[in-house]
Chains A and B, each alone.
Chain A
């Protein structure tokens, strides 16, 4: 479509630009600068106590930061494995299994994604509580040994949190893959059948390569949203016990706005910068991957 040249366009994009300036660029800059200052959140002059890289050093020396980083990595690991491959397998089964009520099934599986993560987290907190249903079932089959305080020890909580997240978002991936599968030409399966290929071969050699862009998209969505997980951790463990299930986002909250926290806004800003750097690095990877997809598609 031929486009008009006109300065009127700037009028149309003004609201967008205002939003970007005030809600994106200004906070970004503010946050970056604040990471070099000491501020308790109450004092009038925010940028009066310049401390250089001290906030960065304090954080790097803090045990909690490394625990949070480790937990974020664990969480990412679990989610990228289960939220990328699980939905793929389910979507293939659902699509090629000729279910009568596939819309109903898709609807049920997707529904948890619409429930607030706070509610989902609270529901599962109840299930994993010491006197909760999971432990009662374990006791009923005489596995009392496994009936532990799932969210109250220093090892299991982050995995439970990952499980809750996977439970909530697997359906999202299934719906996404399902849409990808339905865009594949169905004549391909006929052709591969005539060629004598088994269904398994058809899936691994034809379907999955064709789905590659969707798989990469899903993987990146999972990865980027994995760094944002907050609600579930907040309502299940609040980073506890003794900060052992903290992730980067909750640690940032602890340092900044938590009423039990130390109110160290500078250090909280450093954590935001770390999060920002991670996300920027991965979006650069994403662009590189996207470019490669485009170039291969053009060839």
Chain B
């Protein structure tokens, strides 16, 4: 390991420390507030490690959501989970097939498909709102999970197709020839050989899609009018984002209820998340 000069050592540590502080401080502040008793919160808007750590606020936050929003946090998480996982399944279905076709077949229209994929990257969500609202209303899927799951594939599929396309192109030809000689059809080869090999690419796609879909707000806000269908971001904006002020102990505990599970998942699979950033972005 190379040695830095003392001044360089101090400067770099100081700058990174400052950066970390700016990131951690607001989150930590909210966290400590969420552990304080209500009467202590009013005394101290300043950052203070709470004297009496209490989880009461979390209980109140759960009750508050049930009382004022009529839907509890577990249901919001369930909604988010159903929406995200369904989107991921559909994304994999569309993208694996298309990626396989684009890498294993030569056919007319390949270039058109690529430009359509790139075009669907760029399209602003706003363009979708009114047309899809009208369309979904007509086929009676407004206010169902499908109303958001279908448009979400637009965010996830384009990059997934590109990832799978490049992954499938790199599978050695011999593998396919061996499979064909053994009597496998193209489709069987796709199912039994190509997909199992593509497991790392699939994992990347799942992580990447998760980060895009879990936090989506605008489409869910408009297409899911019923409270019992709302995913976490929309529900929390209804609970804590109104014009009137929510009590601070409940507000901070609600924020932490949204943040902590993501933090746990992130700590568990940090490597994959960071890889998802670079793969998704560099492929795009």
Interface on A for B, CB 8 Å cutoff? 1-10, 12-13, 15-17, 19-20, 22-24, 26-28, 30-31, 34, 41, 46, 90, 93-94, 97-99, 103, 105-119, 121-127, 131-133, 136-137, 140, 167, 171-172, 175-176, 179, 214, 217-218, 221, 224, 227-228, 230-231, 234-235, 248-249, 252-253, 256-257, 265, 268-269, 271-272, 275-276, 279-280, 283
Cα-based distance from A108 to B26 in the complex (angstroms)? 13
A33 to chain B, nearest CB (A): 9
A283 touches B122 (CB 8 A): yes
A27 touches B106 (CB 8 A): no
A236 nearest in chain B by CB position: B241
Interface on B for A, CB 8 Å cutoff? 1-2, 4, 8-9, 12-13, 15-16, 19-20, 22-24, 26-27, 29-30, 45-47, 93-95, 97-98, 100-107, 113, 116-120, 122-135, 150-151, 153-154, 157, 161, 169, 173, 186-187, 211, 214-215, 217-218, 221-222, 232-234, 236-237, 240-241, 248, 251-252, 255, 258-259, 262-263, 266-267, 270, 273-274, 277-278, 281-282, 284
B275 nearest in chain A by CB position: A179
Q: Which of B173, B215, B234, B277 contacts A1 (CB 8 A)?
A: B173
Q: Which of A5, A12, A271, A275 contacts B97 (CB 8 A)?
A: A12
Chain B positions within 8 Å of A256 at CB level: 129-130
A265 to chain B, nearest CB (A): 6
How would you classify the secondary structure of chain A's contact residues: helix, strand, loop or mixed? helix
**Cβ-Cβ contact count across A and B, 8 Å cutoff:** 272
A13 touches B97 (CB 8 A): yes
Q: Mind listing 18 A-B residue pairs with CB under 8 Å? A: A1-B104, A4-B106, A13-B98, A16-B117, A19-B153, A24-B123, A30-B134, A30-B135, A111-B266, A116-B236, A117-B215, A122-B255, A137-B46, A228-B125, A231-B218, A235-B241, A256-B129, A279-B122
B185 to chain A, nearest CB (A): 9
